[in-house]
A = this chain, B = another copy of it.
Amino acid sequence: MNWDDMGNIYATLKGSENLPSIAVGSHVDSVIRGGNYDGILGVLTALEAAETLVSEGIKTRHPVTVLVWTNEEGSRFRPAMMSSGVITGKFDRESMLAVKDDDGITFEEALNNSGYKGDTSNRFSSENYRALLELHIEQGPVLEAENKDIGLVLGVLGMVNYEIITRGQANHAGTTPMPVRKDALHAMTEIIRHLHHELDKLDPDLVYTTGEFGGSPNIHTVIPDYVRITLDARHKDPRVIEQVVNVVENLPTEILRCKVSFREQWSRHTVEFNPDLINIMEESIKKLGYPYKKMYSGAGHDAQYIADVVPSTMVFVPSKEGFSHCEEEYTPLEQCWKGANVILHTLLALDKK
């Protein structure tokens, strides 16, 4: 077992031939008040597959590597998928090491303290790896609603993320007449309402979320002067994302005497996973006889960055009532092991190619 300079962890079973490794893995970090499945189930699945190879005495031609990505969620240190992003060139390493948490601790300091800072030469790379397989919970209600055990993931939806800010004037709650107020929270409620009104006219598969929200001075006796939200919007079709961009870019610049501004924080195009690998996985699912559905992931995953470097794909297992990023997350054990079977059989089929 070793780890690279971003804290990604690799544990490898040797293969019988001098071939690149087949990687299986996910992440172990979570969000604040998250559940017990997002991420960790994919790591346990990888360990289960590796243990089965050993306990059953199955020799593979390729080495098999159990992989744990560091900081997939970006909860403490932003952005999400930081470490897979750095090793695939999406993010600048020095900038990421300098990112601070809310207490002012840098990612580099936390990484050094973790004891999992390793060598750059251990990084996942296209020379050393043949493929990446990742199991994850769906994080949505579709598989459960359609009575499917398995989601065969074709890719990851494109998205765009904005920060939107309203600025007014702080003033005393008891003494400032209503008509002269510049209330940034009142202005933001009108902006959020406007966004819902406009975005609901677009394609019904579009999902969008105002997840972060806060402002100042946040005192019960003072009119808010600053409110900030984030807008996250996702759709497979880049033309729909473009329509979202148009709605944001045409926001009013002033509303209720407050200034309105916005800034794109990040965006990604839809990532298509490797068709050959998808075919091999589909064959494996069919042989196992599990009900399945081809689908796109609305959530981001490390595999979408790795897909640029080596063939990658994912398998989803159902999320009860679609719950995710909350304590209610749950996947029945039977579907967990069906998912693990898909990973193992795909790995073995790929090993023969």
Taking the nearest CB of chain B, how far is it from the CB of A209, in angstroms? 4
Residues B170 and A326 in contact, CB atoms below 8 Å apart: yes
Chain B contacts for A220, CB-based, 8 A = 161, 209, 211-212, 230, 232
Residue tally, chain A, CB below 8 Å to B: 70
| A341: interface (CB < 8 Å) | no
Q: Is the CB of A217 within 8 A of B325?
A: yes
Residues of B close to A176: CB separation below 8 A: 140-141, 207, 298, 322, 324
Shortest A328–chain B CB gap in Å is 8
Partner pick for A299 among B80, B174, B211, CB 8 A cutoff: B174
Q: Is A353 an interface residue (CB 8 A)?
A: no
Surface stretch bound by B, among A54-62, A188-196, A244-252: A188-196
Question: Which residues of B have CB within 8 Å of A215?
Answer: 213
Q: Is A157 an interface residue (CB 8 A)?
A: yes
Does B218 contact A211, Cβ atoms closer than 8 Å? yes
Chain B CB within 8 A of A300 CB: yes
Stretch at the interface among A15-23, A177-185, A285-293: A177-185
Q: Is the CB of A171 within 8 A of B232?
A: no
What is the distance, in angstroms, from A142's C-beta to the closest C-beta of chain B?
8
Interface mask (A139-173 → B, CB under 8 Å = 1, otherwise 0): 11110000000000000010101000000011111
* 0/1 string, A215-251, CB within 8 A of B gives 1: 1111111111101011010100000000000000000
Beyond the given A174-B234, A178-B204, could you list 14 further A-B residue pairs with CB under 8 A, ordered by the A residue number?
A31-B219, A31-B221, A31-B222, A32-B219, A141-B177, A171-B326, A172-B322, A174-B297, A176-B207, A178-B206, A185-B210, A185-B229, A211-B218, A211-B222
Give the interface of A toward B (CB within 8 A).
31-33, 75, 80, 138-142, 157, 159, 161, 169-178, 180, 183, 185-186, 188-190, 192-193, 196, 200, 204, 206-225, 227, 229-230, 232, 234, 297-300, 319, 322-326
